[in-house]
Structure 1
Amino acid sequence: MEIRQVTADERTDTMFPLQAYAFMASPWADADRETYARRMVYYRTATSLIVEEGGQTLAGAAAFPMRQNVRGAVHDMAGIASVSTHPSARRRGFVRQLMTRLMGQMREQGCAVSALYPFRPSFYGKLGYVGVPRVRTATFAPEGLSHLLGAELPGEVERLPISDGFDEFHALTLRMLRERHGFSVYDETRTAEFRVSPSLWVAIARVDGEVVGAVTYRIDQYGGDLIADDLLTTGPLGRALLLQFFARHVDQVTRIVLTIGVDEVPELWGTDLAVLTQGQVRFPGKCGPMVRLLSIDALNGLHAGADLGVTVDVVDDELIAGRYRISGNAGTLAVEESKDEPQATLTCAGISALAYGVLDPVEVMTRGFGQVEAPAVEALNALFPKKMPYLFADF
């Protein structure tokens, strides 16, 4: 068995058959392979690894170079994707070996954090990943937004094909990368594919020429659904402008299905708005995303909730195991190696859960991600206040 890195051009003959069998209807058509081959121009900066045995590709995994905001600090991120195994080679540990090699290689390339969508969360949990919230959908009839039709809002919304509106849309995502915890974006090579996405509109909200909101969407049929992707706004006015735009489809579509973050409360968007808000997780195919630290240095520069300090042992992880003093100083975290007696023992999933704000110290213990002495619970709570991330980017 050999693990080797392949180029984007090699992926079509090595990784595509595995991915197609794992994630597509099969047998697949020749046109599917041709489409995949054309897309490889956008994968040239991805790190793609495969397992070969006797000249046959048995497993593959890849990491896309991305950036992510973690508590106000923007880090290089490894977006893991394309993880698949030949059915005859499953349960032989190939993916675990690929992931171990891939995480180490991406750390060497400067990535401090990583994220993925798992096929089985418990598998990736053993590799140090911890779950973060999945985006929700809000489903409602446009009549529920009728109060916005007569509202005179400062600003306007322009509808454009994604190819024409991409630059402004992308600029907004880069702004949100700087401002929103958990937000992530691809590098320019991978991002370029979305500029040529065929069947998408983008609605762009502007106030005095400044973009304050954007959302990509499509309409499946007359009298059907308007299906929108992530509602990206800089504040309430951007949201109101985009919702007002959707309200104007009242005689065209029956339902609006809109993707939102966990901090949105659609039932408060209107007095008579009947809305179904849901976040569905199922296995396989619709799992929530997972994240982890690839380097303990990722904690440096994060927003700290208090000026305190605590010593922790991070255990059972090849990349970040060690004893560290984590301190808050003027609202910013700092981490350094320490020989002091630890007040907490955490797995990678445990320290990652605190860093991303999805669990507090008590929840870390109840989930089996570590042990925290009573005095350190308060300190870790203060250093890492809960703060739900919004993981934009579906890779």
Structure 2
Amino acid sequence: MELRQLNPDDIESNMDLLRYAFQLKWDPERLAAKRRNFKPEQFWGAFEEGRLKAQLQLLPLKLYVQGRKLDMGGIANVSTWPEDRRRGHVTHLLVRVLRHMRENGQTISCLHPFSVGFYRKYGWEIYTEYKEYTIETKHFPPRAAAEGNVARVKAGIPLLQRVYEDYASRYNGTLVRDEAWWGKLLKSGTAAVYFRPDGKPGGYILYDIEERVMTVHEMVHEDERARQALWNFIVNHDSMIDKAILTAPMDDMLPFLLPNPRIVQEIMPYFMGRIVNVEEFVRQYAFGRTGEQTRISVKLTDSYAPWNEGVWNLIVTEDGRGMFTPSAPEENGEADLSCDIGSWTALLMGYRRPAELYGLGRIFGSENAVHRLDAVLPKRQTYLLDYF
């Protein structure tokens, strides 16, 4: 088996496998665009006798974690020919790209799983979920006075980017968007922007309307005033639609604000994450400031990224700077805490708290160490508005 990045000559093999695996039907225009935009260096393939057996795409992206922008490897388009499945090709590819991400400074990786259980084997863990509301017009929130105005606009990227960055950086796990990403995002649908009385943007929605259903793909607001103004705009469509469908982070309080909160709500487990280089991830992480130094020994297991495996000393300084240093051999006794890399990822991403995972048997050790770890991990909601 040969594992390598694709080259321009592999384009037809790449697209043949994508079309088959994901049952895609591209018209000539779409196919031509795919050929123009093909970036072979983003794809890794498993080859036997020169034939592509399996592949995945590794996207160079950035993620907000505790308000900081971290380099992230986004895994997408994992695909294998049916006659070549269950022969270890994807395992070899995942192990190879984990090493590649480490070499390229990508401290974390994210993906959208076809099967949570499949990727858990390799160290990825659910790190975010979202709520999806389905609200009939009769249950819409009442209109309320809101300063400023909402206008449909031909969405300019800088206009939306300013609002998005402020909103996204409040969460863990949101994507840092560049101009190219925005360009793809805004190819369809309509944008409406809330402008404050001083003319500055304070929120927006991206939406479309079809068959009397308004689907709000994104609702971003800097404060309650912006949220209310955007809802006034949605309510103004009540003669055109029968219901609205929108997604929101898990800390969203909309049902509490409704006259009748008994609307349809679904919780959707979404993306998975995995720390690639635990030492560097901790170095870049913004821990909580407790006014004193915290030291906890942690035993990590990580079969597919062995550089993460072993006993480590987590040291968090008084001002929230973290270090993760290998324990000296003479110190390799019983660690204060032990867990696998997936659980450690869920903790540091803020998806689960130490006491929760301790109670579930996902981390082991002393309750005192659990409490000390909880004290240095800031509480911050996870969210992701994007898909790849």
Judge same fold: TM > 0.5, yes or no: yes
Task: Provide the residue aligned with 2:286 in structure 1.
Answer: 302
Kindly state the Cα deviation for residue 12 of structure 1 after the two structures are TM-superposed: 4.3
Task: Provide the residue aligned with 2:109 in structure 1.
Answer: 114
- Tell me if structure 2 keeps the 8 A contact 1:153–1:241: yes
One-letter identity of the residue aligned with 1:154: E
In 2 relative to 1, CA 322–377 (structure 1 residues): closer, same or farther, beyond 3 Å? same
- Tell me if structure 1 keeps the 8 A contact 2:288–2:377: yes
Q: Supply the distance in 2 between the matched residues of 1:368 and 1:122 (Cα, whole angstroms).
A: 17
Q: Supply the distance in 2 between the matched residues of 1:363 and 1:265 (Cα, whole angstroms).
A: 23
The answer to whether 1:230 aligns with 2:212 is: no
Task: Provide the residue aligned with 1:284 in structure 2.
Answer: none
Q: Supply the distance in 2 between the matched residues of 1:136 and 1:231 (Cα, whole angstroms).
A: 13
Task: Provide the residue aligned with 2:373 in structure 1.
Answer: 380
Q: Supply the distance in 2 between the matched residues of 1:250 and 1:313 (Cα, whole angstroms).
A: 56
Name structure 1 gaps, 5 residues minimum.
282-287
SS in 1 for 2:142: helix
Task: Provide the residue aligned with 1:254 in structure 2.
Answer: 242
2:227 aligned residue (210, 216, 239): 239
The answer to whether 1:356 aligns with 2:349 is: yes
The correspondence of residues 195-214 of structure 1 with structure 2, limited to 5 A, is: 195=186, 197=187, 199-207=188-196, 208-214=198-204
In 2 relative to 1, CA 331–22 (structure 1 residues): closer, same or farther, beyond 3 Å? farther
SS in 2 for 1:292: strand
Kindly state the Cα deviation for residue 309 of structure 1 after the two structures are TM-superposed: 2.1
- Tell me if structure 2 keeps the 8 A contact 1:226–1:255: yes
| TM-score between both structures, scaled by the size of structure 2 | 0.88
The answer to whether 1:156 aligns with 2:149 is: yes
2:163 aligned residue (172, 184, 194): 172
- Tell me if structure 2 keeps the 8 A contact 1:158–1:204: yes
What are the Cα deviations for residues 12-39 of structure 1, in whole angstroms up to 9, with x where unaligned? 4123222222323xxx5451x7515414
Kindly state the Cα deviation for residue 69 of structure 1 after the two structures are TM-superposed: 1.4
Kindly state the Cα deviation for residue 245 of structure 1 after the two structures are TM-superposed: 0.4
In 2 relative to 1, CA 180–45 (structure 1 residues): closer, same or farther, beyond 3 Å? farther
Task: Provide the residue aligned with 2:86 in structure 1.
Answer: 91
Instruction: Out of 15-24 and 109-118, give the one that drifted further.
Output: 15-24
Kindly state the Cα deviation for residue 87 of structure 1 after the two structures are TM-superposed: 0.7
Q: Supply the distance in 2 between the matched residues of 1:264 and 1:361 (Cα, whole angstroms).
A: 23
Kindly state the Cα deviation for residue 116 of structure 1 after the two structures are TM-superposed: 0.7
The answer to whether 1:68 aligns with 2:63 is: yes
The correspondence of residues 1-395 of structure 1 with structure 2, limited to 5 A, is: 1-7=1-7, 12-24=11-23, 28-29=24-25, 31=27, 34-39=29-34, 44=39, 47-145=42-140, 147-148=142-143, 151-161=144-154, 164-195=155-186, 197=187, 199-207=188-196, 208-221=198-211, 224-272=212-260, 274-280=262-268, 288-296=270-278, 297-300=280-283, 301-304=285-288, 306=290, 307=292, 308-316=294-302, 317-337=305-325, 338-339=327-328, 340=331, 341=333, 342-365=335-358, 369-384=362-377, 387-395=380-388
One-letter identity of the residue aligned with 2:15: F
Q: Supply the distance in 2 between the matched residues of 1:179 and 1:349 (Cα, whole angstroms).
A: 23
- Tell me if structure 2 keeps the 8 A contact 1:294–1:319: no
Kindly state the Cα deviation for residue 253 of structure 1 after the two structures are TM-superposed: 0.3
Task: Give % identity.
Answer: 24
Aligned pairs, how many? 376
SS in 1 for 2:165: helix
In 2 relative to 1, CA 77–30 (structure 1 residues): closer, same or farther, beyond 3 Å? closer
SS in 2 for 1:262: coil
Name structure 2 gaps, 5 residues minimum.
none
Kindly state the Cα deviation for residue 83 of structure 1 after the two structures are TM-superposed: 0.7
Q: Supply the distance in 2 between the matched residues of 1:159 and 1:330 (Cα, whole angstroms).
A: 48
In 2 relative to 1, CA 373–146 (structure 1 residues): closer, same or farther, beyond 3 Å? closer
| TM-score between both structures, scaled by the size of structure 1 | 0.87
Instruction: Out of 73-82 and 44-53, give the one that drifted further.
Output: 44-53
Kindly state the Cα deviation for residue 211 of structure 1 after the two structures are TM-superposed: 1.8
Q: Supply the distance in 2 between the matched residues of 1:262 and 1:52 (Cα, whole angstroms).
A: 42
Q: Supply the distance in 2 between the matched residues of 1:259 and 1:67 (Cα, whole angstroms).
A: 22
Kindly state the Cα deviation for residue 101 of structure 1 after the two structures are TM-superposed: 1.0
SS in 1 for 2:140: helix
One-letter identity of the residue aligned with 2:238: V
Q: Supply the distance in 2 between the matched residues of 1:212 and 1:54 (Cα, whole angstroms).
A: 56
One-letter identity of the residue aligned with 1:64: L
Instruction: Out of 46-55 and 265-274, give the one that drifted further.
Output: 265-274
Q: Supply the distance in 1 between the matched residues of 2:360 and 2:260 (Cα, whole angstroms).
A: 40
- Tell me if structure 1 keeps the 8 A contact 2:107–2:281: yes
One-letter identity of the residue aligned with 1:181: N
- Tell me if structure 1 keeps the 8 A contact 2:109–2:275: yes
Q: Supply the distance in 1 between the matched residues of 2:26 and 2:62 (Cα, whole angstroms).
A: 34
- Tell me if structure 1 keeps the 8 A contact 2:69–2:176: no
Task: Provide the residue aligned with 1:285 in structure 2.
Answer: none
In 2 relative to 1, CA 36–189 (structure 1 residues): closer, same or farther, beyond 3 Å? farther
Q: Supply the distance in 2 between the matched residues of 1:365 and 1:10 (Cα, whole angstroms).
A: 51
What are the Cα deviations for residues 50-97 of structure 1, in whole angstroms up to 9, with x where unaligned? 112233211111111111111222211111111111111111111111
